[in-house]
Amino acid sequence: MDRIVNKKTAIVILGGGLKKEADGRWRTTNYDEGDNFGVSGDRLRVVAAKYLYNKNPEQLIIVSGGKGQLKDIPDAPTVAEIIKKELTELGIPEEVIIKEEKSGNTFQQLEELKKIIKEKGLKNIGLLSNEWHLPRIKAMLEQLDELREISESATVEFLPAEEICLEYDKEAWQEMIEKARESEALKERIEREEKGIEDIREGRYKIK
């Protein structure tokens, strides 16, 4: 029997940082790792997507992210490539996953998403990222003319990875998430995000 997929509904995983292991394998980052802007906890986005997919397998999954900060590393994969690999390792079938590999930052991810929404005729979008990241994404969609089309074209839901992981398996994730929330590293990251939101509202935000 062919898999039933609602091609008008999609979870969009906004990619972040990657970590290279000693054996050469690349993976998404944990909460004690991150990118040039601080800790991020990107692995939770992958896990949360799996929980959401298990609940409703009749939806597409868009994984977004090119090389970004790894663009000067010749053997580096795209973020979307690694996220897709991790999703399939968790049991999500390849045929429901769409890769976006052109973007280098959050603004570019959203610009590419705007194109995908139009191309695929998507009507319902769940933007999945970490809870520290979503307020800036929401501000970008509301404040930046280049991105307003996303909310005008589709119904957008903001999906915090931490809350999803706690909802589906509190025992597995509570200690790690609480520790991260209390860490100075994450507090510094949140301060950067809040500064970004202020810049968006004041027209100072660098979108490229």
Q: Please report, in tens digits, the pLDDT of each residue of the chain (208 residues total).
A: 345 556 789 999 999 889 889 999 999 998 877 666 667 899 999 999 999 999 999 899 999 999 877 777 888 899 999 999 999 999 999 999 999 999 999 999 999 999 999 999 999 999 999 999 999 999 999 999 999 999 999 999 999 999 999 999 999 999 999 999 999 999 999 999 999 999 999 988 877 6
Which CATH code for domain 6-202? 3.40.50.620
pLDDT at site 36? 60
- Report CA 29 to chain centroid distance, whole Å: 12
Model pTM score: 0.92
Neighbour count for residue 24 (Cβ, 10 Å): 7
Radius of gyration of the chain (CA): 16
The pair of structure tokens assigned to 197 is: 């939101």
- Alpha helices by DSSP H, listed for the chain, are 43-55, 79-89, 106-120, 134-143, 148-153, 161-168, 170-182, 184-202
What is the domain partition of the chain in residue ranges? Answer: 6-202
- Which residue in the block uniquely carries the two structure tokens 């897709």? 84
Alpha-carbon separation of residue 91 from 21, 48, 204 (angstroms): 22, 13, 42
In this structure, what are the phi and psi dihedrals at residue 78, rounded to the nearest 5 degrees? -80, 155
In whole angstroms, what is the distance from residue 121 CA to residue 154 CA?
Answer: 9
pLDDT at site 35? 65
Using the 8-state DSSP alphabet, how is residue 26 labeled? E
